[in-house]
């Protein structure tokens, strides 16, 4: 009689094959999605860490090597970089003007060449990223 009261709502202690397959598929999709998100995070982290031209310490070290900066010039340029932290164009321009004032004529020429090279590299990377993103290779 108890079974008759339950009607069509019988208790099933085990899941059906379809339910098991649906659960496995859902878990598989979730695992793949999580893996993709983590992989993207690692790619972006790697790109950011390899871009040393924006790290002030690495930039000062590069300038010291390329321009043969004296100890006094290093100290002055480090102070300029610390004082002008910020990403806006005016701050970068002000920083460049102050750095140029610290350099001698030969160093100024090398600094301008170095900046032009960095700008060309940046544009080249940017164009490559756009080409890769659009599916066309140049």
Q: What is the pLDDT of residue 104?
A: 94
Q: Which residue has the tokens 């992989």?
A: 39
Question: What count of other Cβ atoms lies within 10 Å of the Cβ of residue 108?
Answer: 15
pLDDT (average), residues 100-115: 91
Average pLDDT score, the chain? 77
pLDDT (average), residues 84-89: 74
Write down the domain spans for the chain.
Answer: 7-49, 52-132
Token readout for 8 is: 């069509």
| Whole-angstrom distance, CA of residue 60 vs CA of residue 74 | 7
pLDDT band at 109 (very low <50, low <70, confident <90, very high): very high
Higher pLDDT, 45 or 91: 91
pTM of the predicted model, to two decimals?
0.51
């Amino acid at each position: 009689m108890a079974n008759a009261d339950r009607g069509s709502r019988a208790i099933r202690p085990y899941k059906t094959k379809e339910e098991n397959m649906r659960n496995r598929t859902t878990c598989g999709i979730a695992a793949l999605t999580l893996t993709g998100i983590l992989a993207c995070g690692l790619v972006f982290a790697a790109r950011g860490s390899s871009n040393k031209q924006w790290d002030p310490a690495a930039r000062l070290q590069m300038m010291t090597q390329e321009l043969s900066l004296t100890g006094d010039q290093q100290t002055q340029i480090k102070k300029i970089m610390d004082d002008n932290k910020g990403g806006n164009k005016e701050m970068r321009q002000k920083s460049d003007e102050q750095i140029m004032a610290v350099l001698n004529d030969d160093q100024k020429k090398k600094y301008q060449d170095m900046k032009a090279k960095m700008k060309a590299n940046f544009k080249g990377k940017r164009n490559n990223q756009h080409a890769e993103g659009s599916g066309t290779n140049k």
